[in-house]
């Protein structure tokens, strides 16, 4: 029984840090918490405003580096305060620009009791995790938009990811990456074909041609390809869509140059993307459910260590051939949803982009 109970306890470092944070935020609650910051103009270094002392006091609650001298009741937004705002933004997973806009003010106005509850919720989530994740595995925190590749307890890779939009959320899951596909085709899901791509083709009859999208139908068990220019797309609708769409490999392919496959009930996977510029966004719930990778080549190299492949990752991509490669040893992947986590021992918060915290709170 003791061993089974121990398996429910997060790692010692995590557990100590999160329980210490619970004690600390409970003390904030006991002190009455912090005052709300009224809605006001965007504030930045060099501004003078009557709300500055209130904001300084709010920052000082969570920022031990702010001294009494730093938080004297000045209405001037100085460089010390800008540095404190940047630290606050980093701690709360916001764009780190030192400017107090609506998002930063919103995060400041989340109460101490709400933050306390958020930590408790995420400590509970950690109790649900297996105690032993394996020697080599992928760890995805959806709420943090990040994937890490772990080997023998060391982080070998960290990369930004994009996850599903709120209307098409990426689920939490555990599975095993068992094969990679280089220069993949994209077999476009019917809902995306109808909702996203059909309107594009109706607006521009060259769209499918320019994007390398081919049109098929199944007739009496036989797959037939159709020339998109011969189809009256205005007569096609969500109620009348007898086609299957597939995008060829190439520069316009939505999956980029690589995808990483694993068994799951949602038909999701990890993949490259043709839209690298979106990784600069701080909020990256932008996909249709799959997980887009900032550096798929690095992840492929990690996945193929000791795999015995004769060709390198770059060789297979450069071939422009559609190549499937089975891993000799599958790679565990854990996709979690932690809105509180540790970064170099510091507790970090994120927005609850999928509104999942409340479901866990109801279980506590």
CATH number at residue 46: 1.10.101.10
* pLDDT, tens digit (0-9, with 9 covering 90-100), for 322-347: 999 999 999 999 999 999 998 888 89
Contact between 98 and 44 (Cβ < 8 Å): yes
**How high is the pLDDT of residue 56?**
92
Q: Are residues 265 and 303 in the same domain?
A: yes
Q: Which has the closest alpha carbon to 287: 185, 165, 200?
A: 165
- Judge if 241 and 261 occupy the same domain: no
pLDDT at 296 over 60: yes
Mean pLDDT of 253-277: 95
User: Which range, of 34-43, 163-172, 306-315, 321-330, averages the lowest pLDDT?
Assistant: 306-315
Portion of the chain with pLDDT greater than 70, in percent? 95
Q: Tell whether 263 and 152 lie within a shared domain.
A: yes
Looking at residues 241-266, what average pLDDT do you find?
A: 95
What per-residue confidence (pLDDT) applies to 345?
83
Structural contact between residues 243 and 226, judged by C-beta atoms closer than 8 angstroms: yes
What is the C-alpha separation between 291 and 336, in angstroms, rounded? 13
pLDDT of residue 7: 40
Residue 17 has pLDDT above 80, yes or no: yes
**235 and 110 together in one domain:** no
- The answer, yes or no, to whether residue 125 has pLDDT greater than 50, is yes
pLDDT of residue 327: 94
**Tens of pLDDT, residues 229-239:** 999 999 999 89
- For the beta carbon of residue 234, count every other beta carbon within 10 angstroms: 8
Q: What is the pLDDT of residue 70?
A: 52
Query: Looking at the 3D structure of the chain, how many domains does it have?
Result: 3
pLDDT of residue 12: 60
Last residue of a domain, one of 115, 139, 169: 115
Q: Are residues 281 and 321 in the same domain?
A: yes
Strand boundaries in the chain, DSSP class E: 136-141, 146-151, 154-164, 173-182, 186-187, 213-219, 222-226, 244-247, 258-261, 270-271, 285-287, 291-293, 323-336, 340-343, 346-349
Domain check: are 161 and 294 in the same one?
Answer: yes
* Range in 131-135, 197-201, 233-237, 338-342 with the lowest mean pLDDT: 131-135
Any domain includes 347: yes
pLDDT, mean of residues 282-293? 94
186: pLDDT strictly greater than 80: yes
- Would the pLDDT of 6 be above 70? no
Boundary residue ending a domain (228, 247, 266): 247
Percent of the chain with pLDDT over 90: 80
What per-residue confidence (pLDDT) applies to 251? 86
Say if 279 falls within a structural domain. yes
Strands (E), 34-193: 136-141, 146-151, 154-164, 173-182, 186-187
Half-sphere exposure (CA, 13 Å, Cβ side) for 148? 13
Domain encompassing residue 47: 2-115
pLDDT at 2: 42
Gap between the Cα atoms of 34 and 13, Å rounded: 28
Report residue 11's pLDDT band, with 50, 70 and 90 as the boundaries: low
Quote the mean pLDDT of the chain. 91
What confidence score (pLDDT) does residue 1 get? 40
Q: Is residue 364 part of a domain?
A: no
Q: Which of 10-14, 57-61, 191-195, 289-293 has the highest mean pLDDT?
A: 289-293
pLDDT of residue 364: 80
Other beta carbons less than 10 A from residue 238's beta carbon: 11
**302 in any annotated domain:** yes
Confidence at 16, pLDDT banded by 50, 70, 90: confident
Are the C-beta atoms of 160 and 146 separated by less than 8 Å?
yes
Q: Provide the pLDDT for residue 3.
A: 42
| pLDDT tens per residue across span 31-69 | 999 999 999 899 999 999 999 999 999 999 998 777 645
pLDDT value of residue 9: 41
- Domain final residue, candidates 67, 89, 115: 115
Report if residue 363 sits inside a domain.
no
Number of residues in the chain: 364
């Amino acid at each position: 029984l003791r061993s089974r109970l121990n398996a429910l306890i997060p790692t010692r470092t995590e557990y100590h840090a999160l329980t210490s944070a619970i004690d600390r935020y409970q003390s904030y609650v006991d002190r009455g918490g912090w005052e709300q910051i009224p809605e006001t103009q965007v504030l930045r270094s060099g501004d003078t405003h009557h709300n500055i002392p209130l904001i300084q006091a709010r920052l000082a609650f969570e920022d031990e580096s702010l001294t009494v001298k730093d938080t004297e009741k000045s209405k001037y937004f100085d460089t010390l305060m800008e540095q404190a705002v940047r630290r606050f933004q980093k701690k709360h997973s916001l764009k780190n620009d030192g400017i107090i806009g609506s998002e930063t003010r919103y995060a400041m106005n989340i109460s101490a009791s709400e933050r306390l509850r958020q930590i408790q919720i995420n400590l509970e989530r950690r109790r649900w995790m297996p105690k032993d994740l394996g020697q080599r595995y992928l760890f995805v925190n959806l709420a943090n938009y990040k994937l890490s590749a772990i080997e023998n307890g060391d982080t070998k890779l960290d990369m930004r990811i994009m996850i599903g939009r709120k209307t098409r959320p990426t689920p939490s899951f555990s599975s095993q990456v068992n094969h990679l596909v280089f220069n993949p085709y994209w077999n476009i899901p019917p809902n995306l074909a109808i909702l996203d791509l059909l309107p594009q083709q109706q607006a521009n009859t060259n769209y499918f041609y320019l994007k390398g999208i081919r049109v098929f139908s199944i007739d009496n068990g036989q797959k037939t390809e159709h020339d998109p220019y011969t189809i009256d797309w205005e007569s096609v609708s969500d109620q009348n869509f007898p086609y299957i769409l597939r995008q060829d490999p190439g520069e316009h392919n939505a999956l980029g140059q690589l995808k990483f496959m694993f068994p799951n009930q949602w038909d999701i996977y990890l993949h490259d993307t043709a839209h690298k510029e979106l990784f600069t966004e701080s909020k990256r719930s932008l996909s249709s459910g799959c997980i887009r990778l900032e550096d798929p080549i690095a992840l492929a190299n990690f996945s193929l260590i000791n795999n015995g492949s004769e060709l390198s990752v770059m060789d297979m991509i450069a071939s422009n051939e559609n190549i499937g490669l089975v891993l000799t040893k599958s790679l565990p992947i854990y996709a979690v949803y932690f809105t509180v986590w540790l970064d170099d021992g510091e507790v970090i918060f994120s927005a609850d982009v999928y509104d999942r915290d409340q479901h866990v709170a109801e279980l506590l």
